[in-house]
Structure 1
Amino acid sequence: MTIRELCEKEVVQLEQGVCLGRADDLAFDPATARLQSLILLGRPRLFGLLGGEENLTIPWQEIETIGTDAVLVHTQLPSAAPSKPGLWQSLRARLGL
């Protein structure tokens, strides 16, 4: 299997069956050239102008199976940051609607 083929597979968290996306990068051990982890980049906010979400690193020990279509992992889901109310919700609250 090539690195390109590995990065084209969907990464699925087994406990809840959540699709985490695809691996964007890989981390290797420089001494042994062994694969250490998969890295899934966080989604950009406002086309990347406001930064992005936190990257998700999945250590090799948490990878259960690399199948033909997906990579199954036993990793914890990233905790969702509490969202701030949007502009319209703030305006409605101020106006008492």
Structure 2
Amino acid sequence: MRIRELRRKEVINITDGGRLGFVGDVDLRMPDGQTAALIVYGPARFFGLFGRGEEYYVPWDSIQRIGDDIILIDKPAQHRDPALERRRRKKF
């Protein structure tokens, strides 16, 4: 499966039935090239002018099933702080 195919799929948590959103990015382990997690971007605030809401970090082992148009997960996703991620990227 290609990453662009994953980006069209909506992530749904089966523990509470919550819709997290659509896959925005994929976290890969570089030495071995395996997928570590999916990153789901939060909803846009006021037509995208004020940024986005919180992001979700969905570990690959919490994915139960990948269907034609949805991805089912069984664990609550971890919230990710975008400010922390920006600081981490600036160090490299």
Q: Give TM-score scaled by structure 1 length.
A: 0.69
RMSD after superposition: 2.0
Tell me if 1:25 matches 2:47: no
- Relative to its length, the structure with more strand (as a share) is 2
After the TM superposition, which residues 19-58 of structure 1 pair with which residues of structure 2 at under 5 Å, given as runs? 19-58=19-58
3-state SS in 2 of match to 1:16: coil
SS of residue in 2 equivalent to 1:4: helix
Q: Deviations over 1:16-55 (max 9, x none)?
A: 2222111000010011110110001122323445443221
Q: Which runs of 5+ in 2 are unaligned?
A: 80-92
Counterpart amino acid of residue 61 in structure 2: Q
What CA distance in whole angstroms lies between the structure 2 residues aligned with 1:34 and 1:77?
Answer: 19
Q: Which residue pairs with 1:75 in the alignment?
A: 75
Q: Which runs of 5+ in 1 are unaligned?
A: 80-97
Identity of aligned residues (%): 35
* Residue identity matched to 1:66: I
Q: CA deviation at 1:77?
A: 5.6
Partner of residue 94, structure 1 = none
Q: What per-residue deviation string (whole Å, max 9, x for no partner) do you get for residues 38-84 of structure 1?
A: 001122323445443221010111111112221110231678xxxxx
Match of 2:7 in 1: 7
Structure-2 change in CA distance of 1:78 and 1:47 (3 Å): farther
User: SS of 2:6's equivalent?
Assistant: helix
Q: Which amino acid aligns with 1:14?
A: I
